[in-house]
Every structure is written in structure tokens, then in C-alpha cells.
Amino acid sequence: MTPQNFNLADIDRIIHEPARLTIVTILNAVEEADFLYLQRETGLTRGNLSSHLSRLEASGYIEIEKTYKGKIPLTICRLTPAGREAFKRYRERLREFIKKST
């Protein structure tokens, strides 16, 4: 593979989107994160973050747990084993591309 024939279809398009890549990168580094932490760290609006989380959840890459802390709603997000594996493959694919392009 050379950079000239690198095909974006060969990488995970769900993860490749910048906002979702940021979310998955954060969740890969921690066991779980709540919605407000993700919002603060990503800089996304509530609606935008919610939309990206829904897409990741539909892909089976994250699980979302809605609970309460006292009387305050709390949304906890964590990568699933499939999500961790997909992120690992995504990073490996990009490393291959970078290695072959230098």
C-alpha cells in the first residue's frame, strides 16, 4: 500500500470522524466517563455529543448507562470490548499508512 492508493474505505469510518475519534480516544484511556466530563473534554455541545454517542452506541463501540447520583441524572459511557478492538485496529491501520508513506 502506498499513500497514493490509500483508501479511506479501508479504515473504520465510524471512528475516523474527528469528534467520535476524540470520544473513543478519551474512553480508551479511562474505564468510564460521564457525559459532562466528555462534553468538557471534547468541547462539543450537548446535542452534538449526544448524537455522536448514539452513533457509537449503535455501532456497538460504547455502552451508555443512565443512572442517578442522588436526584441528579448521570450518564456514564464506556467502551465495549468491540469498541476497544475497533480502536486498536484503527490505530494499527493508521500506523501502517504512516510507516509506508515515509
Q: What is the pLDDT of residue 96?
A: 87
Q: What is the pLDDT of residues 75-87, one digit of tens each?
A: 999 999 999 999 9
Q: How far apart are CA 57 and CA 79, in angstroms?
A: 9
Fold of 10-90: Arc Repressor Mutant, subunit A (1.10.10)
Q: Which residues contact 39 (CB under 8 A, 6 or more apart)?
A: 45, 46, 49
- Helix %, strand %, coil % of the chain (to 5): 65, 20, 20
Alpha-carbon span 62 to 52, nearest angstrom: 11
pTM: 0.89
| Cell representation of residue 29 | 484511556
